[in-house]
Amino acid sequence: MTNSGIEIHKGLNGVYFDRSDSCFIDGGIGKLLYRGYDIHDLAEKSTFEEVVYLLLYGKLPTIPELSAFDNDLRSNRELPSGVLDVIEAVKNAHPMDVLRTAVSALSAFDEDVDDNSTEAIIRKGIRLTAQAPTIVASHHRIRNGKSPVKPNSRLNHAGNFLNMLLDKEPTAEESRILDVDFILHAEHGSNASAFAARVTASTVSDLHSAVVTGIGTLKGPLHGGAAEAVQKMAEAVGTPENAAAYVKNILDNKGRIMGFGHRVYKAEDPRARHLAERSESLGAERGEPHWFQILTGIQEAMKPYQSRGIYVNVDFFAGSIYYLLGIPEDIFVPIFALGRVPGWALNVIEQSSNNMLIRPLTEYTGPFDVEYVPIEDRES
Ligand code: CMC
């Protein structure tokens, strides 16, 4: 509270701005539900395609519904050649910047771009979910002087992405690891990027613009950028024995340990355990168990912070998994975005279906009624 009596909510911390029936988070006990379904059930029993259907339509699909929906996703993976040209032109940028730019370019080729009906947002959401992996994979090929690998309609969403990115058909286990990763990243309430997407949608802009906003917001290390930072940290730590000293040094210098802490979760981030399990098993299988050991060493060193509500978050183990799958570090954040596209579409549907312009206030603390001095009379 300031002298004016205005209460400031920095970072909108703890502020409710709307109601939603799509995502429930209880950060005190580490509970996450998509449309009422527990994230643990979805991660263990579902597929990304099924979860996207659940998010967009509000119910789990029947077998024929899922089959038609999956066909829709598979048949929308190709990019217009104009978008591939744009990717070529910006190929030296960070993959997240390329993704943002290419999604923006896709709007020029989408016949529904200005249709903000729920049906059109769902159609566009499906197309963007299907096209975004092709952007990331094609860019990686193009920047390495290679032709993009064509989408393969025989492969599921996650498997096709890995195939296009690495030009190698993944095993069923590799596909499933990324499939689960996409499920865990698909939706997360009014997180920073979804809120930003809602702000864009609230002006009655369009889905492509909202997703571009979301990608730009996700990029930062306090949000989606942490997985890349965690892997860099694991490399810098080098061996499990170094973890405690490394953590102490960062914390003594008032730094932050990436992959720890969350605005909402003050207990376990329920998404993290699924990635921890896979980080451990994949590392053991690939003969590289030290990544998981380094990460658990860091986790051990951070134990005193649990009393302050600081636990590992979804990004902590994700980087090691991507690394073990052979994915370059600068593609870690784009992978988060590929999972989150349906969540952004869902937030735009919710915002648009009961819209009010999002326009908060800042309390003015500057001077009043300052005399205007012509430029030639100003003192240097
Ligand atoms: N390492 C060390 N100290 C931390 C950390 C951390 N990772 N996170 C929070 N703190 C401390 C922070 O220094 C502050 O201490 P003090 O009160 O003494 O100044 C206190 O905890 C509160 O921090 P805050 O930044 O005010 O709290 P927040 O709710 O805004 O923090 C966060 C959320 C994610 C920005 C923060 O935990 C952080 O910077 N984490 C590291 C980056 C990261 O892993 N981001 C991925 C988030 S999960 C993916 C997603 O859903 O976006």
Residues in the ligand 1 pocket, defined by CB under 6 Å:
11, 188, 191, 222-224, 226, 256-263, 310, 313-315
How wide is the angle at C-alpha 218 spanned by C-alphas 215 and 221, nearest 5°? 140
Q: Which domains does the chain have, with CATH numbers?
A: 22-222+331-353 (1.10.580.10), 226-324 (1.10.230.10)
Would you say residue 374 has pLDDT above 70?
Answer: yes
pLDDT of residue 339: 98
Would you say residue 3 has pLDDT above 80?
Answer: no
Full strand arrangement of the beta sheet holding 23-26:
23-26, 31-34, 37-38
Would you say residue 1 has pLDDT above 60?
Answer: no
pLDDT of residue 216: 98
Pocket residue to mutate for ligand 1, from 260, 332, 336, most atoms within 8 A of Cβ: 260
pLDDT of residue 380: 85
Residue bearing the CA closest to ligand 1, atom 2: 256
What span, in angstroms and rounded, lies between the C-alpha atoms of 208 and 337?
A: 14
pLDDT of residue 221: 86
- With a CB cutoff of 8 Å and minimum separation 6, the contacts of 109 are 80, 82, 83
Mean of the pLDDT values across residues 174-203?
A: 98
**19 CA from centroid of ligand 1 (Å):** 25
Residue bearing the CA closest to ligand 1, atom 16: 254
Residue bearing the CA closest to ligand 1, atom 37: 261
pLDDT of residue 268: 87
- Report the catalytic residues: 223, 262, 315
pLDDT of residue 2: 61
Q: Which residue has the tokens 């502020």?
A: 15
pLDDT of residue 225: 86
**Contact at 8 Å (CB) between 152 and 163?**
yes
Check residue 21 and report its DSSP letter: S
Residue bearing the CA closest to ligand 1, atom 52: 223
Q: Which residue has the tokens 């994979």?
A: 137
pLDDT tens-digit series, residues 48-96: 999 999 999 999 999 999 999 999 999 999 999 999 999 999 999 999 9
* Residues above pLDDT 70, as percent of the chain: 99
With cut-offs at 50, 70 and 90, classify the pLDDT of residue 141: very high
**47 CA from centroid of ligand 1 (Å):** 31
pLDDT tens-digit series, residues 102-138: 999 999 999 999 999 999 999 999 999 999 999 999 9
Mean of the pLDDT values across residues 246-267?
A: 94
Atom of ligand 1 nearest to the CA of 264: 29
pLDDT tens-digit series, residues 22-56: 999 999 999 999 999 999 999 999 999 999 999 99
**260 CA from centroid of ligand 1 (Å):** 7
* Residues above pLDDT 90, as percent of the chain: 97
What span, in angstroms and rounded, lies between the C-alpha atoms of 169 and 175?
A: 9
Q: What is the mean pLDDT of the chain?
A: 96
What span, in angstroms and rounded, lies between the C-alpha atoms of 45 and 63?
A: 15
**261 CA from centroid of ligand 1 (Å):** 5
Residue bearing the CA closest to ligand 1, atom 51: 223
